[in-house]
Amino acid sequence: MQRQGATIKVGQRVYNCTTWSRQDEIYVEDRLVGIIKLTCSDRKGRTISMITHASKHGREIDWCVEQSTPSRPPKEKYS
């Protein structure tokens, strides 16, 4: 099975005097799977999974897409 690619919807910057913030959305097909929050003081941002509600520092798009796919059962061990 081929892994689905993510689509990123870039949000508008919100300016408050000399600071700014932005929230980008991550979609797989038409389903929102995560967001990336960026600020002028943290340009690496924080990626938040809308599926697991876990978060990771940085723009971790691949990690977020992986959070949205069902986990596979562990492989059986053969002796």
- In a domain? residue 77: no
- In a domain? residue 79: no
Over the chain, what HEC string results?
CCCCCEEEECCCCEEECCEEEEEEEEEECCEEEEEEEEECCEEEEEEEECCCCCEEECCCHHHHHHHCCCCCCCCCCCC
- In a domain? residue 74: no
Domain that holds residue 10: 6-67
pTM for the structure as a whole = 0.76
pLDDT at 42 over 50: yes
Determine if residue 33 is left, alpha or beta; phi over 0 gives left, psi from -120 to 50 gives alpha, anything else beta.
alpha
Average pLDDT over residues 26-37: 94
Q: Count structural domains, the chain.
A: 1
- In a domain? residue 15: yes
Instruction: Grade residue 40 by pLDDT with cuts at 50, 70 and 90.
Output: very high
- Structure confidence at residue 5 (pLDDT): 74
Higher pLDDT, 10 or 59: 59
